[in-house]
Structure 1
Amino acid sequence: MQIRIPGLQIYLRDWQLADLEQYSTWMVPGQPWKELDGPYYPLPSTEAIEAQIAYMRTQIENNSFPTIRSVLVISDQATDNLIGIVSWSWESEETHWPTIGIVIFDPTYWNQGIGFEALGLWSDYLFYTLPTIARLDLRTWSGNKGMMRLAEKLGYQLEARFRKARTFKGTYYDGLGYGVLREEWEARYHQGFASYLQKRSQQSA
């Protein structure tokens, strides 16, 4: 079954064939998003990206996505075009400790509340589909002020600061770890994040 989770401005959804060319374009060096999203890590090689896209194409064509998705596309509700992705992986599978991430590739969608919607819906999805987890982690760096604000706005707390742990363009930055506990999330969004978004929208209308 295809997944499509509606927000107010976006969907979180499964990959589609039309996404693959766009995704390949965003993986070309020199894109603005990479200046914020772990710029101290190199992009995958061309060969690695081609192999990844071939694997994604097979998943799409065979509808063989994992039951619990590890990545969902962020798409514009008006056009359904890919504008970013959300993802998760295990920090420690043995102790049920996941870490999550988000990238909005298209800078025309920055500073419009898209990240708040997408990461909130994604956090809700993971707490629901991973019933054994007690927390979610989010890692960033002190050069990404937008991600720091986003984490705090959603209710994630700054739990770790690794001083001068990242270098970018010759300058040291701190590595940051944010986290939210299941009980904190449920207390903050007790009717679910989608319901919270709707109420928030109605109050501001």
Structure 2
Amino acid sequence: MFNKNCTDKVTLRSIETTDIFDLWKIAFDGDLEWMKWNGPYLKDPVLSLEAFTKLAEERYVNNPFAAVVVYENQIVGQVFAFWEDGTLKQWLEFGICLYDQSTWNKGIGSEVIQCWITYLFETVPLIQRVGFTTWSGNKGMMKIGEKLGMVREAQIRKVRYYQEKYYDSIKYGVLREEWQ
């Protein structure tokens, strides 16, 4: 279990069972604008509370690679990380979802990701790189990667199809020595 103050307004902490309803409510029981930016080409379903609870209990609760984003004492999103290479555990990727639109374009995503990358490097001392993948339609995530000094490592052209248009898949990464 962890609790990491990123700034005076932003905290990352372990996801607890008692957070599941609040996460579901902001993610799926209201404004779904975030889904238009979080890999919409994957056509992820809008989850019921029951389905989300099952998913959260399996993947998020008691997982050191998952955390809620708390802004001004309110849960507004989550971050997570996963091993892209499975059991080899050398290639760590992460993601972020800020569900509440009122938190967008305020620098909160940058603060959260900066804090999360630091946490990941501290938690996994042997890992040499941390990164994320986005798509060329999500200018906000691309801007965050660049703002934090991450390297645009790959651009796979026209592989993400959304609203009758092709977009690029884009990977950002940072090495431990670049981060420190």
**TM-score over 0.5 (shorter chain):** yes
Equivalent position of 2:54 in the other structure: 51
Q: Does residue 4 of structure 1 match 2:7? A: no
CA distance in 2, matches of 1:87, 1:129: 13
Q: 1:178 aligns with which of 167, 172, 177?
A: 172
Aligned-pair Cα RMSD in Å: 2.1
Task: Give 1:74's aligned amino acid.
Answer: V
Q: 1:28 to 1:167 in 2, by over 3 A?
A: farther
Instruction: Provide TM-score, normalisation by structure 2.
Output: 0.88
Equivalent position of 1:85 in the other structure: 78
Task: Give 2:12's aligned amino acid.
Answer: L
Q: 1:30 to 1:98 in 2, by over 3 A?
A: same
Q: 2:126 aligns with which of 116, 132, 148?
A: 132
Report Cα offsets for 1:126-156 as digits up to 9, x if no partner: 1111111110121000000000000111111
CA distance in 1, matches of 2:125, 2:104: 32
Does the 8 A contact of 1:39 with 1:168 survive in 2?
yes
Equivalent position of 2:13 in the other structure: 13
CA distance in 1, matches of 2:164, 2:128: 38
Q: Report percent identity of matched pairs.
A: 35
Q: Work out which of the two has the higher radius of gyration on C-alpha atoms and give 1 or 2.
A: 1
Task: Give 1:52's aligned amino acid.
Answer: L
Equivalent position of 2:70 in the other structure: 75
Q: Structure 1: give runs of 5+ residues left out of the alignment.
A: 60-64, 187-205
Task: Give 1:84's aligned amino acid.
Answer: G
2:42 is paired with a residue whose SS is coil
Instruction: Provide TM-score, normalisation by structure 1.
Output: 0.78
Does the 8 A contact of 1:116 with 1:150 survive in 2?
yes
CA distance in 2, matches of 1:16, 1:179: 29
Q: Structure 2: give runs of 5+ residues left out of the alignment.
A: none
Report Cα offsets for 1:2-29 as digits up to 9, x if no partner: 4111122210012245532222221358
1:155 is paired with a residue whose SS is coil
Equivalent position of 2:43 in the other structure: 42
Does the 8 A contact of 2:17 with 2:57 survive in 1?
no
Does the 8 A contact of 2:20 with 2:53 survive in 1?
no
CA distance in 1, matches of 2:132, 2:38: 12
Does the 8 A contact of 1:19 with 1:81 survive in 2?
no
1:82 is paired with a residue whose SS is strand
Equivalent position of 1:196 in the other structure: none
Q: State the aligned residue count.
A: 175
